[in-house]
Structure 1
Amino acid sequence: MCGIAGLYQYQGARGEDALPGDAVRRMIALLAHRGPDDRGMFDDPDTGVILGNTRLAVVDLSPSGHQPMHNEDKSVWVVYNGEIYNHGEIKRELGSTHRFVSNTDTEVVVHAYEQWGVECFHKFDGMFACAILDKKRNMLFLARDRCGVKPCYYYQHEGLFAFSSELNSLRAVFHPEIDDSSVCLYLRLGFFYRTKTPYKGVSELEPGGLAGVDLETGRCSVKKWWSIDAFFRDTRRVPFQEAVAAVDDILNLSVKRRLESSDLEVGTFLSGGIDSSLITAVAARHKKGLKAFTVRFEGTYDETPLARRTAAYCGADHVTVTISMDNLKDEIEKIIGNYGEPFADSSAIPSYYVSKAAKQYLTVVLNGDGGDELFGGYRRYVPCANEALIRFARGMSFLKGIIPVPRVKMGGYNYFYRLLDFSRKTGLQMYLAGTVDIFEGHERAIRARAGYSDEIADDVNGLFSDNSRTLLRKMMNMDFNTIFSGDLMVKTDIASMAHSLEIRSPFLSREFLEYAPALPDSFKVRGIRTKHILRELACRYCPRDIAYQPKRGFEVPLKEWLEGDLRGMVFDYLFRSRGAARFVEKEFIRGLLEGAVAAPPEQRAKMLWTLFALEIWYRGGERSR
């Protein structure tokens, strides 16, 4: 795992003020937490491209892994962040026609591109963001993995093209202007949609994205080299037990690759849930003495007893780490500030502390990300798979204006209340009500220009109007392209890399991504049971009662934070708002603070937290200018 950065300034736009190589050095210095083991830079005098890297050594710990890395004649140069778990298989396929000087997966990327061009990415099972300088073609390419596990941002301004693994390094060096429309859409979503960032001229390369800069003309073109959409459109007609066997085979292959592609010890995160239990159980069969980490937060629901049973059942070495967030008030600005953009997912806080604790023991950990998204794990998928429930709720939706708002997030009443709201809406309003539900019903308080949400609204309308697919498939497809890539992947990367911790997700293997979406709906959601096929598979590896545990676990006590330890801090930030008040009516913000806005307590807490994260980001930008 690493951090990458670089720039190119089109010669036709060059002048005496052309940025020197120390701009890349500054960006790389700001990415040091992503790669504390080595640092390198290549300033190409022929093309003017500058590539930089900070390295977290995981595969081939020797100096041979130094980046930027090149091929034999130095016509191809690569900086790369991530892991290609099948790099050994690809290296053997490349054969003796290429000369290797290291055992790194980075060098496999170099020669795979040399052999197959940009088609090489289809061969990779891994997570990656890379920049490739092809001097023969006079092109600079940026590419990103299928799920967007590893980040890549690029900045274009007056002939300058710069890229980095994190927004903070681009902001600190180039000081881009704020994009008000993108920030307003953030308020609706809690994260940034697809290519959007809070800055003008700065874009995020989409998952499965490929950007090419023609060094002759300075023009940049962007396309998708991979998309999950086609796999959600497909239907895989197989018997259930055959599908269980196939998922079992893919899971074993995916876990085995992620264990073996490391010269450091690899452990697992183990909660009481099915995803991490399956990953740990399978990993324990491939690796004796596997360390399985369970993180326990003081004063919350404790999954340790379930996790301990799973570890004992599969023979893993169980380690429990107890975490206190007593210092949250002192660290909250840093934790949120790490994202370089407003980021409203409050689970970023425990993710930060979990990664910090795990790094004390290991550098590489497997987790269960992707299980919910590919196999139907969220409660909102139940009515989508049972559309009669939605029709029933639509008929009862008049109750929404009569019954009291729910006071507790978890529970049947809150679920019923939100289902009523979801059932009576259409398009973007329906999708957001069923998922993030932040400013829904209070959109008018956002000081946005007309059209700020058109892109996502068009995407939702286009997808949900496709009558060839079931509602469940459409919802899962949209979730994967929005919440999963824009929220969950961003959270996991920034929280873990803040501590130089590499997290690997077997459920996000190439094979799973191209197999699971096409499975029949009934294999995923059966009645009110989510992740049906994974639960059946888990019975082969775990105690049956653990395989059929309901989805639960650590719930961020956001409402309690905002009414307790963080109340004064949030009130002070927002009452004297400089950033949030630019995007939301001041009277509405004050009404939220005073509890005068008519909204369920959990929704009020989410709105306050979303504004608080925005204010922290905005003030951080003021200090950096």
Structure 2
Amino acid sequence: MQRFAFIWAHENKQAVVLVLLSDLKQALYEAVSRSVPEAKIAVAFSGGVDSSLLAKICQDLAKQVTLVTVGFSGSHDIGFAKGIASKMGIECRTLEIDYRDFQENLRRIMQTINCGNTSHIENCIAYFYICKLAKQNGLDIVLSANGCDELFCGYDGYRRAYSGGEAAIMKLMDEKIANEFTLMAEVATVAGQFGVAVRQPFLSNKFIEFAKAIPVGQKIKGPDDMTRKHILRQAALSIGVPEESATKPKKALQYGSLIHKYFKKARNT
């Protein structure tokens, strides 16, 4: 049974429920353990809090972890990921995307997933290269930390929804989760070209149920909260994720890898 600590807020006479970090950590480890029985896996890695948390959990579970990072030359993700991976003591393999190759594969992927959503296309091209890199290194299972931004109010949209109260935030959360499942189905199609399976431990039904029960106030503090995901960041720090990773502001995969920049360039030529 999950344990909760209750603190009374005397000003408004309402009970504020604080989910103990130990409960969240247990749920995180269980989600990964249930989703990944294999010993040898890759983790899609940017060096941010979500992927670093996932990598550290896999390391603690004695998995044979290889971090895989993709991006164009000079991209933020490749440089930052290498530094965090070194601090964590985990092997990191990188792939620099060639623009001409990117143009060719972009057309193929757009035809494969038949999707008009720019964000989905950019994520699918990212996972195309992630899965290609994993396969080159003899890895058939890639884990992603997708779900953390949805469940812990990581997106900037949660700040805009804050004025609508908890109901508005939870409505947005449900929409974000539904969108993520659609995206992951598209990613699975792309990954299948390499015989690679992409798994999302933090999008399991059990973890979603647990995370949605965590009070919104432990995730986002207000409409001006530029950090967000507070309890998740605390969990990351408490298990040994490097501080610069655990406190790093969100930078979406397609931006940190420069895929968004080159996608726009390819569409305009």
Question: TM-score when scaled to structure 1?
Answer: 0.37
Match of 1:258 in 2: 35
Match of 2:170 in 1: 473
Q: Map residues 42-81 of structure 1 onto 2, 5 A cutoff.
A: none
Task: Indicate whether 1:505 and 2:200 are aligned.
Answer: yes
Q: 1:341 to 1:267 in 2, by over 3 A?
A: closer
Match of 1:551 among 250, 255, 261: 250
Tell me by how many angstroms 1:248 deviates.
Answer: 0.2
Task: Indicate whether 1:536 and 2:231 are aligned.
Answer: no
C-alpha deviations, 1:190-212, integer Å up to 9, x for none?
A: xxxxxxxxxxxxxxxxxxxxxxx
Match of 1:277 among 45, 52, 59: 52
Task: Indicate whether 1:376 and 2:153 are aligned.
Answer: yes
Distance in 1 (CA, whole Å) between partners of 2:63 and 2:173 is 36
Q: 1:318 to 1:479 in 2, by over 3 A?
A: closer
Match of 1:331 in 2: 105
Q: 1:325 to 1:485 in 2, by over 3 A?
A: same
Tell me by how many angstroms 1:566 deviates.
Answer: 4.2
Tell me by how many angstroms 1:506 deviates.
Answer: 1.6
Distance in 1 (CA, whole Å) between partners of 2:43 and 2:245 is 17
Match of 2:180 in 1: 484
Distance in 1 (CA, whole Å) between partners of 2:180 and 2:190 is 15
Q: 1:560 to 1:276 in 2, by over 3 A?
A: closer
Q: Does the CA-based 8 Å contact 1:281-1:311 persist in structure 2?
A: no
Task: Judge which range, 505-514 or 532-541, deviates more.
Answer: 505-514
Aligned amino acid, residue 317 of structure 1? E
Distance in 2 (CA, whole Å) between partners of 1:567 and 1:309 is 34
Q: Which has the higher contact order (CA 8 A, sep 6+)?
A: 2
Q: 1:289 to 1:296 in 2, by over 3 A?
A: same
Q: 1:366 to 1:557 in 2, by over 3 A?
A: closer
C-alpha deviations, 1:161-208, integer Å up to 9, x for none?
A: xxxxxxxxxxxxxxxxxxxxxxxxxxxxxxxxxxxxxxxxxxxxxxxx
Q: Map residues 166-245 of structure 1 onto 2, 5 A cutoff.
A: 238-240=17-19, 242=20, 244-245=21-22
Tell me by how many angstroms 1:349 deviates.
Answer: 2.2
Distance in 1 (CA, whole Å) between partners of 2:115 and 2:63 is 41
Tell me by how many angstroms 1:558 deviates.
Answer: 4.8
Tell me by how many angstroms 1:306 deviates.
Answer: 3.0
Q: 1:473 to 1:268 in 2, by over 3 A?
A: same
Distance in 2 (CA, whole Å) between partners of 1:561 and 1:374 is 28
C-alpha deviations, 1:18-68, integer Å up to 9, x for none?
A: xxxxxxxxxxxxxxxxxxxxxxxxxxxxxxxxxxxxxxxxxxxxxxxxxxx
Q: 1:338 to 1:253 in 2, by over 3 A?
A: same
SS at match of 1:549: coil
Distance in 2 (CA, whole Å) between partners of 1:497 and 1:334 is 14
Task: Indicate whether 1:359 and 2:145 are aligned.
Answer: no
Q: Does the CA-based 8 Å contact 1:269-1:292 persist in structure 2?
A: yes
Q: Map residues 149-160 of structure 1 onto 2, 5 A cutoff.
A: none
Q: 1:363 to 1:295 in 2, by over 3 A?
A: same
Distance in 2 (CA, whole Å) between partners of 1:478 and 1:561 is 25
Q: Map residues 405-554 of structure 1 onto 2, 5 A cutoff.
A: 469-481=166-178, 483-486=179-182, 488-527=183-222, 528=225, 529-540=227-238, 541-553=240-252, 554=254
Name structure 2 gaps, 5 residues minimum. 1-14
Distance in 2 (CA, whole Å) between partners of 1:333 and 1:265 is 32
Question: TM-score when scaled to structure 2?
Answer: 0.80
Tell me by how many angstroms 1:560 deviates.
Answer: 5.6
Q: Does the CA-based 8 Å contact 2:18-2:215 persist in structure 1?
A: no
Distance in 2 (CA, whole Å) between partners of 1:289 and 1:266 is 6
Distance in 1 (CA, whole Å) between partners of 2:48 and 2:247 is 9
Q: Does the CA-based 8 Å contact 2:88-2:242 persist in structure 1?
A: no
Aligned amino acid, residue 180 of structure 2? F
Distance in 2 (CA, whole Å) between partners of 1:239 and 1:294 is 35
Q: 1:560 to 1:294 in 2, by over 3 A?
A: closer
Tell me by how many angstroms 1:364 deviates.
Answer: 0.6
Distance in 2 (CA, whole Å) between partners of 1:325 and 1:302 is 17
Match of 1:60 in 2: none
SS at match of 1:503: strand
Q: Does the CA-based 8 Å contact 2:126-2:259 persist in structure 1?
A: no
Distance in 2 (CA, whole Å) between partners of 1:247 and 1:537 is 7
Tell me by how many angstroms 1:531 deviates.
Answer: 0.8
Q: 1:253 to 1:474 in 2, by over 3 A?
A: same
SS at match of 1:346: helix
SS at match of 2:113: coil
Distance in 2 (CA, whole Å) between partners of 1:353 and 1:267 is 13
Match of 2:85 among 303, 311, 324: 311
Identical aligned residues as a percent: 27
Q: Does the CA-based 8 Å contact 2:40-2:64 persist in structure 1?
A: no
Name structure 1 gaps, 5 residues minimum. 1-235, 391-466, 569-625
Aligned amino acid, residue 475 of structure 1? L
Distance in 2 (CA, whole Å) between partners of 1:303 and 1:333 is 24
Q: 1:565 to 1:383 in 2, by over 3 A?
A: closer
Tell me by how many angstroms 1:340 deviates.
Answer: 4.7
Aligned amino acid, residue 551 of structure 1? K
Q: 1:508 to 1:485 in 2, by over 3 A?
A: closer
Aligned amino acid, residue 238 of structure 1? V
Q: Does the CA-based 8 Å contact 2:140-2:197 persist in structure 1?
A: yes
Aligned amino acid, residue 473 of structure 1? M
Q: 1:382 to 1:247 in 2, by over 3 A?
A: same
What is the number of residues matched between the two proteins?
245
C-alpha deviations, 1:551-596, integer Å up to 9, x for none?
A: 115425556655x44434xxxxxxxxxxxxxxxxxxxxxxxxxxxx
Tell me by how many angstroms 1:292 deviates.
Answer: 1.6
In our comparison, the structure showing a higher alpha carbon Rg is 1
Tell me by how many angstroms 1:328 deviates.
Answer: 3.0
Tell me by how many angstroms 1:357 deviates.
Answer: 1.9
Tell me by how many angstroms 1:287 deviates.
Answer: 1.7
Q: 1:536 to 1:333 in 2, by over 3 A?
A: same
